[in-house]
Chains A and B, each alone.
Chain A
């Protein structure tokens, strides 16, 4: 069906649900989310704030909050279920580039020492090997004066340098997969471009898979082979990036793309807000905001339909045209 058949996935999120016990009741942060990252590919996850992007990422990294639990689903990494079997968890094989580089490192310890400690846990070799490798990585991420950088504290780096430092940290244990959480939102535009170019180059050089969480379609188009659109904890649509961006099918994706300042003629946005995770609407979670919602949308969650070209979409009415005012 697909022009380039996807190899067996490195990471497979299978019908994952993550719920959270809160004072306001059960918060269904993620429901029935599936996603695959093939080796050497870059996969993007997009959605508004509060749609579960960060929780998905934390589940993959094994750092869910204490009040979270997983009622259903699995996360397979290199074939093993890393949620069920903590011992088999992907120690050192999944790198992480966080969104805010500031408090990702403890301010009272030297940045280099903190990365070396991770390497001591997860990477083979002696302390001397680790140091040499880290200096080399610092050079690869273009940190100025790599030897001196080892001795510095986190606050002695600029924002862009800190992000480079964390990319080096993410790569320090030779991961197969790097998960990046909007790694450029805290940076100014010129630095953003450099960091994105760096990530793309490093991923290509090292044959890395990237899972890229973002809400920037520009970043998505530039970096990702395929994309999964999340809405209120469910997959709305997924498929190859070009296909999804050029011809969005789910009404949410269509509206989201129409909101992009480059494309929108006026900045109306999508009416309404993302529902609270404790009060998800029945049926399709987008139907209260959806311009083409029908009565049956409130009955049951729509199944994910497979479309030609490796796409899938969670809307039975995706062929309907949106009313003009919504896309004005």
Chain B
């Protein structure tokens, strides 16, 4: 794994992705200490509305007079928590489905994979909007919708790898010496799928952050006064073009973090897949 990391860092573009993501994680962890005005998550100061960037407020202030830099910093934590939760939930559904469907070759497998196709066919935003109407609109609903539409990618990735390895001799040999299917799948087959799953998860993080921001923008994601980047861009619409700084900095934060995850995902795909290693040498 350390060799893979070294290869990853040798590629400047992937290294940049890693730096962006690590930076975002540090910012998220220490957000209340890094933000100049941490109380601006929920307080408003109507006397200092829509101030342009200055030494006092480097990113300016928003329509309720809150420091945008502080809210971008505080929003990092929300964005990452949403992304990690959604991707972990999607993996928790998709990986077992892929393993079982790939291992079996009967109606169970067919039912699981057709179900996967059905969920794959559902447009993410539409499902989120519909769920928002059915349930209470909010960030939790958006996360459920995102997880429900993202697990098929993991299921398909793991399914393909399980199918490929199911007939492999080392799997037959394991079964021959009495290894249970759970053991074979979790200890011997799943590790083969992990590089692909890791890449999918990393790209999924960026994708989730982007979609969560869109949902926030559409009003079915995070609700005010939560310091959400997508929500901030939505609130800023009424104050354009005068308050250009209001949507710009939260928007740049979205751009940067999504870009970071995508660059890292691409880099990981090249570096961590044992089958690609030789060709990259």
Residues of A within 8 A of B (CB): 58, 61-63, 66, 98, 100, 103-109, 114, 121, 153, 155-156
Return the 9 tightest CB-CB contacts between A and B, nearest first: A103-B168, A63-B176, A104-B169, A108-B191, A63-B172, A106-B170, A62-B176, A98-B169, A108-B192
Contact partners of B176 in chain A: CB under 8 A: 61-63
A264 CA to B191 CA in the complex, in Å? Answer: 49
Smallest CB gap from A121: residue in B:
B177
- B173 within 8 Å of A (CB atoms): yes
Q: Using a CB-CB cutoff of 8 Å, which residues 258-281 of chain B contact chain A?
A: 274-275, 277-278
Asked whether, in the complex, the Cβ of B168 is within 8 Å of the Cβ of A104, the reply is yes
Task: Verify B175–A63 contact, CB threshold 8 A.
Answer: yes
Q: CB within 8 A of A106: which of B192, B275, B277, B278?
A: B192
B165 in the interface, Cβ–Cβ < 8 Å?
yes
Name the CB-closest residue of B to A102: B168
Q: CB of B188 within 8 A of chain A?
A: yes
CA distance A121 to B179 in the complex (A): 13
Partner of B278, one of A61, A98, A156: A156
Q: A63-B176, A103-B165, A105-B170 are in contact. Are A155 and B277 (CB under 8 A)?
A: yes
Bound-state Cα–Cα, A100 to B172, Å: 14
Which residue of A58, A107, A114, A156 is within 8 Å of B192 (Cβ)? A107
- Give chain A residues whose Cβ lies under 8 Å from the Cβ of B275: 107, 155
**A98–B172 alpha-carbon span in the complex (Å):** 12
State A66–B166 Cα separation when bound (angstroms). 12
Bound-state Cα–Cα, A61 to B194, Å: 30
Instruction: Tell whether, in the assembled complex, residue B274 and residue A103 are in contact, meaning their CB atoms are under 8 Å apart.
Output: no
Identify the B interface with A (CB < 8 A): 165, 168-170, 172-173, 175-177, 188, 191-192, 194, 274-275, 277-278
* A61-B175 Cα distance, complex, nearest whole Å: 12
| Interfacial chain A residues near B169, Cβ < 8 Å | 98, 100, 103-104
Which residues of the partner chain A approach B278 to less than 8 Å between Cβ atoms?
155-156
Tell me which of A100, A109, A121 has the highest count of chain B C-beta atoms within 10 A of its own C-beta.
Answer: A109
Nearest-neighbour CB distance to chain B for A234, whole angstroms, equals 25
Determine how close the nearest CB of chain B comes to the CB of A21; give it in whole angstroms: 12
Q: Give, as a whole number of angstroms, the nearest-CB distance from B255 to chain A.
A: 35
Q: Which residue from B172, B175, B177, B274 sits with its C-beta under 8 Å from A107?
A: B274
Measured in the bound complex, the distance between the Cα atoms of B253 and A214 in whole Å is 63
| Chain B residue nearest in CB terms to A107 | B274
Selected A-B contacts with CB under 8 Å, 20 pairs: A58-B172, A61-B176, A63-B172, A103-B165, A103-B168, A103-B170, A104-B170, A106-B168, A106-B170, A106-B191, A106-B192, A107-B192, A107-B274, A108-B191, A108-B192, A108-B194, A109-B191, A153-B274, A155-B275, A155-B277
Closest Cβ of chain A: how far from B103's Cβ, in Å?
11
Chain B residues with Cβ below 8 Å from A61 are 176
CB closest residue in chain B, given A99: B169
Contact yes or no, A63 B173, CB < 8 A? yes
Chain A residues within 8 Å of B168, by CB? 103-104, 106
Shortest Cβ distance from residue A160 to the other chain B in the assembled complex, whole angstroms: 16
**Which residues does chain B contribute within 8 Å of A58, judged by CB atoms?**
172
Bound-state CA distance A132–B191 (Å) is 28
Taking the closest CB of chain B, its distance from the CB of A246, in whole angstroms, is 35
Assuming A107-B274, A153-B274, what are 7 further A-B pairs, CB within 8 angstroms?
A61-B176, A98-B169, A104-B169, A104-B170, A106-B170, A107-B192, A107-B275
Report B115 CB to chain A, min CB distance, Å: 22
In the complex, chain B residues whose CB is within 8 Å of the CB of A100: 169
Which chain A residue shows the least CB distance to B281?
A: A156
Complexed CA–CA distance, A106 and B176 (Å): 15
Kindly state the separation between the CA atoms of A268 and B109 in the bound complex, as whole angstroms.
43
Shortest C-beta distance, B69 to chain A (Å), equals 44
Contact A108 B170 (CB under 8 A): no
A212 to B232, CA, bound (A): 72
CB distance from A200 to the nearest CB of B (A): 23
Cβ contact within 8 Å between A155 and B274: yes
Q: Across the interface, which residues of A come within 8 angstroms of B177, CB to CB?
A: 121
* Neighbour of B188 across the interface among A62, A66, A98, A106, CB < 8 A: A106
What's the least CB distance linking B28 to chain A, in Å?
Answer: 32
- CA A114 to CA B174, docked complex, whole Å: 11
B274 lies within 8 A of A108 (CB)? yes
List B contacts of A121 (CB < 8 A). 177
Cα-based distance from A55 to B217 in the complex (angstroms): 61
Closest-by-CB residue of A relative to B276 is A155
Which A residues are in CB contact (< 8 Å) with B192? 106-108
CA gap between A100 and B173 in the complex, in Å:
14
Contacts of B194 in A (CB 8 A): 108
> Measured between C-beta atoms, what is the minimum distance from B201 to chain A in Å?
17
Point out the residues of chain B lying under 8 angstroms from A109, CB to CB.
191
A58 CA to B175 CA, complexed, in Å: 12
- Distance to closest chain B CB from A105 (angstroms): 6
Once bound together, how far apart are the Cα atoms of A103 and B170, in whole Å?
7
Rounded to whole angstroms, the CA-CA distance of A52 and B175 in the bound complex is 21
B268 → A minimal CB distance (Å): 15
- When distances are taken between beta carbons in the complex, the residues of chain A under 8 Å from B172 are 58, 63
B175 (CB) vs chain A CBs: closest residue: A63
